[in-house]
Amino acid sequence: MSAPAPLWRVRAARGEDLPAILDLARRTGGGFTNLPADAAALARRLDWSGRSFARDQDVPHNELYLLVLEDVASTRIAGTAMLFSRVGSEWPFYSYKLCTLKQTSRELGRNFSTQFLSLTSDFDGASEVGGLFLHPDCRSGGLGRLLARARYLFIASHRARFGRRVIAELRGVMDDAGNSPFWDALGRQFFGMSFPEADQFNAINGNQFIADLMPKHPVYTALLPEAARAAIGQPHASGRAALALLEAEGFVFDNYIDIFDGGPTVCAEIDQLRCVRMAQVAEVGALADDAAALAAPPSLVASGTLGDFQAFISPVGADGALPAAIAGPLGLAIGTRIIHAPA
């Protein structure tokens, strides 16, 4: 008889998760600002997250909610995901907007379209999802989708703690050595740092130095090398699946890019996200011995609030029934409040 499949859940991170999260951070390969491979920086993020979960005011201010993917039986942690309640609270949240200037020369009888990058803080006040990273051994079986979409059920369960819009920044194009052609062509000229150095500094200290040193005038893309132009708005090869998940949820690319590596920044109205729109609140009405008896497709399900939040995949019967083999290990009983959406 084959062993039962592992039961995975996404839960709120805790301080004791630091070693496992640090191990994941060291596997990212760089360019992953929200998950720096630095124990002290990660400890500060865990502390920030803990204070955010404990905060009793349901108004977005400057919270970080850090979630982890856990095998319930072994307690192995295999992934991370993050939510930021409101970006731009402490200093402006900078992006480049790719714009087009059209000009006409009557003497030459020609029209010209010129692209340029404009430094903006258009997303100040928006919420952000980020920090999504999955252990290479676990990138199958829908675990990435569970980890990514659990964030939207967290938002649906705590709607007042988030803004009107939500954004996601995707890592941009880099070479095998971790260098960014976009940064090398632009940022390096003003900061005197390699991309890995600037990325590490930003991850640990924040991006206020961008405000101090980044040129405020538009940058004409025609003046950039071809490799840098080709990287504008393109995700890292490892981020294409994440971009597809975001687009399926309702995010769109509106010509905003990351100021460091030129990767795409996508945005959406929170209340129009697929998971948020389709979320339903219920109570566990019964515990079924056989999941097949529920005659229901798998759903994304969450229970608990704030630090007790957990999300998992399970069929949900018409009366809120859950399989006992799932509900039991997760501590769910008849009458427990759940929220669920199509998987």
Give catalytic residue positions: 236
For 201, the token pair is 């500094």
CB under 8 Å to 232, separation ≥6 — which residues?
98, 117, 182, 221, 257, 262
CA distances from 202 to 107, 125, 176, 206 (A): 48, 20, 21, 5
For residues 299 and 315, the answer to whether their CB atoms sit within 8 Å is yes
From residue 156, give the alpha-carbon distance in Å to each of 186, 188, 256, 276, 311.
39, 40, 26, 5, 12
Identify the CA nearest to 98 among candidates 233, 243, 260: 233
Residues 6+ apart with CB under 8 A from 82: 34, 64, 65, 66, 67, 129, 130, 131, 132, 151
Buried/exposed code over 164-185 (b: 16+ C-beta within 10 A; e: otherwise): ebbbbbbbbbbeeeebbbbbbb
The Cα–Cα gap between 272 and 288 comes to: 33
Tokens of 248: 């399926």
